[in-house]
Structure formats: structure tokens, C-alpha cells
Amino acid sequence: MSAAPLAPVRTVVIRAVTRTAYWTRLLPLLAALAGVTRLPSFVRPLWNPDEGYLAVQARLLAHGGQLYDTVVDRKPPLLPWLYEAVFAVCGSGSLTPLRVLAVLAHLLTAVAVAALARRRWGDGAGRTAGVLYLLVSVGLNPEDAQAVGFEVFMLPGTAAALWCADRGRWGAAGCAVAAAFLAKQTGGAVLLPVAWLLHRRGAPRRDVLRLAAGALLPVLGAALLTDPAGFLFWTVTGSAAYASFAGSELHVLARASANGALLAGASAGLLAPVVRTLRVTRASAADLWLWLASSVVAVTPGCHFFGHYFLQLTPPLALSATAALHALPAGRRARAVRTSAGACALFLVWGLIAPRPELAHAQRLAAALDRRTTTAERVLVWGMHPETYWLAGRAPATRYLTAGLLTNYSGGRGGPGVGEKYAVAGAWPVFRGELDRHAPALVVDDSRGKPYAPGRVPTLRRWLAARYEETGTVDGAVLYTRVPGE
């Protein structure tokens, strides 16, 4: 009689060994692929202004700055805190440690995607989904795909939320939703497929409460650790003008089309099977289609359509494609993976050889700041490239690191919707007060003919005329120094 329980125990042991063996083989493959697909990120010191913005914020926080008070941006706090922590450990002169963490973030996303697919469709589907995610996630302009930005650290949270919900772990799913939101607001869109899974399973009220608590408590904690009113303003209520539809509609439409086309090109091996098997997979993978649809909606607020926004589509796209390919012969799956690998190789070559004129421009400006000022002096760079402060090692004279927060200029928009009256509410009195308290030793007008040029901003134009004089130019940017006695 005592021997009867041995069969179930043996079954559990076999399953554990099988699971361990599966991941022992798959994890090194995914880790190697994550590293290879991010190789271009290590060849340049900086990829886009978001990295520069976060680097400057981290330095300000390290020197006593307060998030949503003396250090501001329209984003949640997770990435500024991460940059600050990494700089505290590794120094603030290089983004290489953060790029290593970005590789890890992509690996974690791939693992969660693979685990979801394996649970539903078997071992082969798990491998396919993890590999497809890593291949497709580089299918954008390298300055979007290779940068250490908000979306990169949002993706593990979104994938983990679905992973937890798929297993009925509602408190953990809520925490994962919160982590995604705290990386970037649009990460909260994953709550929709998570809630759908909760509804489909007919979960009791206690599970609804667990999901709600998991999603809300970390966000409330982050608000209390910063400033609740400031947190609400900068992450939700203070971005009405930025999220409006007014501006250069044709320019924005062109950007949306270009970035959509790039991602479609990277997904060339996946789109046809997805469309062909949509009727078959729509019911069996409804939560994945809902995840993809909610991610598409999350790309659209404000109609800016920056390339890095499209990264949010890649995990549900990889899973939806796996669901479609699972219903097709094995040869079709292999062909889709090979096509994606070929597209990925093209994007990697692009990342390795493409010139970066704006980075070179910022480096030349930073060299000019280094020559003309000391590390103890503050400077003002009137432009859209905050990385100049970081590259020069100079502190900004104001909490507003770009002209965008003071004029609503962003992403090529011009004419309507740009100007002082479209600034973040209350920004100009604060800006003027900071310039009076921390009079910059050097002002760099880096507008280069854009709609936010000082000639179109009366308050700034009068302030410059009264206190500063033009003393030179660097690469199209105009330098101003204080008039003696001011």
C-alpha cells in the first residue's frame, strides 16, 4: 500500500526535470540572441535625446534634485531612478551599464513571451515566440530600437502581466501592470487583456481586489515617494497641449507611415500567416489579439508616432504570429523565422554603419561649453538636445531641459500649437525665476531656424537682449555670454 504514491511523485519529478532541461537549452540561445541584436547599441555613446534627458535628470537627482519639483519630465519615475542608481554604482560618464540592463530587459521579455507560448502550444512554440520577439524588436530606426529608453523597460512588465494572468496570479499581474505603467504611462494598456482574462475565468471578487491592489499600490507608493500632486500633474494632467492633435499633420502622418512600414518590413515573414489564420486563431488567442489591439491604441495618444513607441507592439506581435504559425506546417514556421532573421540582420547592419549627425552636433556643442565654461558654472541650451549638458558635464540653469516644455515643440511640429502660451502650465514664471537665481554663464541658442527660435519667443528674446551678447557660433548654434555687470 505504501508504494501507491510513488507514481504521482515520479511524474512530478519527470516534469520538473523536463522543464529544467527545456530552459537550460533555451535560455543560452535567447541570451546570445539578445546580446547579438543589441550589439549596435554599444558602438555609440548615445542614440537619442531621451537617453540624454534621463542622464541629465539622474545627475540632478544625485545632487539633491527632487523629481516632479526641481527635476521634471512628462514620464513616470522608474527610468530616472534606474539611471540614478546605475550612475551611483558605475559613474555617470557612460551609458554602457544601462545598455547591459537593456539587454537583460529584452531577455526577460523574450523569456516571458516564450513561457506564454509554450504553455499554450508546446515546446516548439515557446522557442519560436522568444526568438521572434528578439528578431522583430530591432525592426525600427536604430536610434529607436537600440536606445536605453522608456519602452525597453516597460516591455518586461507588460509580458510579465500576461504571464501572471495566464496562470491566475492576479496580485502579481497587477504589480506587473504597475511596473509597466511606472516605466511609461502607455504600459498600463496591458491591463485590458489582463482584465479580460480575469473576466473570462469568472474570477471571484477577491481576485479582482488582488489585481486592483497590485496595480494601484505601487503607483500610489511612487507618488508618495516623490510628490503626489507633482506626480499626477507631470504623468497625467499636465500634458494636454503635448497630447493634442494640432500641429504639422502631414509631418506626423509621414512619421507614422515610415515607422509602421519599418516594423512591417521587420515582420515580413509573420504578417501573411497572421492574416491568413486570423479566423482560426481569433477565438483561441483572443487575449493576445486584445493585447496587440490595446498596444496599437497606446501608440496613438498625441499623434506623435515616434519610432520607439512602436516597440510596445513587438511582444504581442510575436505571440500572435506564433499562434498563427502554430496552425501551419513546420516548414512555414522555419521560413518565417528565417525571413525575420534576414530582416533583423539588415537592421543590425544599419545600426552599425548609419551616421548620426545630431550626435556629432551635440558633441561639438559640448566641446564648446567645455572650453568656455567651468564645471561650477551653469549653462542654458535652448534646444531639443539635452544630451549636450551630459556630454559637456555642465549643470543646466533650469529644470526645463528642452525648449519643448516651454513652447510645446516636439517631434517636428511647427506653426500652430508652438509658442509660450502652449507651455506646460506655470512653466515660464518658474523658468524666469531660475534664470535670475542661476544666471547661466553661457547661453546656446540651438534652435537653428525651428519654430521655437528666440525671435518667436518674446520673453526669452527680451531677456537675452537685456543681459547677453552674441559671441560666436558653433555648427549653426549661436552662443551668448553675459554682458559685463549683469
| Residues in a beta bridge with 379 | 396, 442
Which pLDDT does position 1 carry in this prediction? Answer: 45
Asked whether residue 8 carries a pLDDT value surpassing 70, the answer given is no
Q: Give percent of the chain with pLDDT exceeding 70.
A: 91
- Dump pLDDT digits (tens) for 44-62: 999 999 999 999 999 999 9
Asked whether residue 6 carries a pLDDT value surpassing 70, the answer given is no
| 82 to 78, 102, 157, 168, 372: CA distances (angstroms) | 6, 11, 15, 29, 32
Average pLDDT, the chain: 91
d(CA 341, CA 134): 10
Residues 144-165 have a mean pLDDT of: 97
**DSSP class per residue in 349-375:** HHHHH---HHHHHHHHHHHHHHHHS-T
d(CA 225, CA 222): 5
d(CA 328, CA 324): 7
Give the three cell numbers for residue 281: 486563431
CB 116 within 8 Å of CB 163:
yes
CB-based burial label for 350 (10 Å; 0-12, 13-18, 19+): middle
d(CA 382, CA 397): 11
Closest CA to 396 of 434, 365, 425: 434
* Residue predicted with more confidence, 18 or 483: 483
Which pLDDT does position 274 carry in this prediction? Answer: 80
Give the three cell numbers for residue 438: 542661476
Residues 65-86 have a mean pLDDT of: 97
Cβ neighbour number for residue 59 with a 10 Å cutoff: 20
CA dihedral 263, 266, 272, 278 (to 10 degrees): -50
Closest CA to 378 of 433, 323, 435: 435
CB-based burial label for 360 (10 Å; 0-12, 13-18, 19+): exposed
| Residues in a beta bridge with 479 | 444, 472
pTM: 0.93
| Residues in a beta bridge with 378 | 395
Asked whether residue 93 carries a pLDDT value surpassing 50, the answer given is yes
- Dump pLDDT digits (tens) for 286-333: 899 899 999 999 998 877 899 999 999 999 999 999 988 887 888 888
Asked whether residue 17 carries a pLDDT value surpassing 70, the answer given is no
Closest CA to 433 of 404, 400, 466, 403: 400
